[in-house]
Homo-oligomer: A and B are copies of this chain.
Amino acid sequence: MELVTPHIPPQPAAPPSRLNNARVLKVELGARSYPIRIGKGLAANEAAFPEAQGRALRVITDSNVAPVYLAPLLAALHIGDDQVFVLPAGETQKTWDSAGQVLDWLLASRLSRDGCLIALGGGVVGDLAGFCAAIYQRGIDFIQVPTTLLAQVDSSVGGKTGVNHARGKNLIGAFHQPLSVIADTSSLSTLPRRELLAGLAEVIKYGMLADSLLFEWLEANLDRILALESNALAEIIERCCAIKARIVGLDERETGSGPRALLNLGHTFGHAIETHTGYTQWLHGEAVAAGLCLAADLSARHGWITEAVAARCITLIQRAGLPTQPPPGMTAADFRDLMGLDKKVQNGKLRLILMRGLGDAIISSDFDASLLDSVLHDACSAAG
């Protein structure tokens, strides 16, 4: 069902030359394996979408992305704009009610079970559209076309879909793998600067948790990224997706003991910040950036990494123009309360992702609670 289009005459494969400029990775998940295609202009190139050919298609996007990228995509896919649902932009749209509206529209548009959704946008659109694909008529195919750096290196790969809840982020959702992921680097040229930087937080995260060479490459080449140099962007997207694809291939559904949880480095703190600020003031990547600093600090206080390594992490995050402290006014008690409900709580014991080296993260509930308290207290005091 997920990967097969049973009743469509096979199309001739697109000549490989037409995608010569694309880098292609594969997420290995048996019957649910899929390609990630990375390159300039792919979202406007029919040849990047062989999985969509001959299918009934619907596009979900948002009000920021639609004016810029929708028309070229529709032209590439030969579909009309009556097959598009445009959400208002923003994380506040990633709700149960919005999902209900998308499902109402899909049903009104009479998309059948063998149809295919296309998510064109950032993480909010991808997570929400993916969740709708997961539960529309018990699951239909979908294709991710991420238009933000954050979505290209993280949220569009791996099959996590879902919506937020007043009690926390992504508390309702499903694992549902896409048919393919099409990461068009040219979409980063119109991305607001603040969102580009927020995506960089996840890139730095990959370096911190799994790839010291990537981390050092970022230290040396940060300016090329900030100048939007095309090859540099493609390089980090490919490198991050390769890490994520490998980890997701080992642990598709994030079992308690599996490596996928490592990708949440900084996220338990970050989710608490996002919940505390109501999802409206901080971008996800900004909250993760501050969370990465807290995780590095806590790791250093345990002696698991040196203070010099923690300082390099915090410095790189600062150079990228990202926050290194919690929001002003947030207290250690706020963190404790909000982290109590986090999905990483198992049998009442909080588990955190921490570092034991540059490019080497672990899942641990074996940390010193008083050190956690002092990290939170110091960070919140410094933030004011």
Contact = CB atoms under 8 A, between A and B. Distances in A.
Interface of A: 1-2, 4, 6-8, 96, 100, 103-104, 107-108, 110, 112-114, 131, 134-139, 160, 162, 165, 167-168, 170-175, 253-257, 340-341, 343, 345-348
A256 B6 contact: yes
A346 B7 contact: yes
Contacts of A8: 347
A273 to B, nearest CB: 19
A347 B114 CA distance: 8
A103 to B, nearest CB: 6
How many subunits of this chain does the assembly comprise? 2
B139 A341 contact: no
A343 B112 contact: yes
A367 to B, nearest CB: 17
A259 to B, nearest CB: 14
Given A112-B346, A341-B107, A172 B136 contact: yes
Nearest to A107: B167
Given A114-B256, A256-B7, A174 B139 contact: yes
B254 A1 contact: yes
Nearest to A342: B112
A113 B343 contact: yes
B7 A348 contact: yes
A255 B343 contact: no
Nearest to A110: B341
A6 to B, nearest CB: 4
